[in-house]
Amino acid sequence: MTTGTVDLTRDEIVQRGKEIYYSDIASVVEADNYGRVVAIDVCTGEYELGDDAIKSAAQLRARLPDAVIFFMRVGYPTMARVL
């Protein structure tokens, strides 16, 4: 997968996204945002929190148009999506 100047496979994006989420973001968002969706730029670690993937991605793309986005649903280990 190629996005901008970043060349990552889907597996690499998923791995980076999960690492960033669990090491930097989960402890900040999990207490009060159960079920919301975090969009994470796997290149910078920047993220946005929204009610769904569309909203969180739009907020992140407004700041980082070339973001390589990985999604996690707060409190659910099963949502993992790459955009």
**pLDDT > 70? residue 2:** no
What pTM value is reported for the model?
0.85
Separation between Cα atoms, residue 60 and residue 62, nearest integer Å: 5
Rounded mean pLDDT, 73-81: 73
Per-residue pLDDT of 17-62, as tens digits, reads 999 999 999 999 999 999 999 999 999 999 999 999 999 999 999 9
Q: Residue 33: helix, strand or coil by DSSP?
A: coil
Q: Look at the chain and count its residues.
A: 83
Q: Residue 29: helix, strand or coil by DSSP?
A: helix
**pLDDT > 70? residue 1:** no
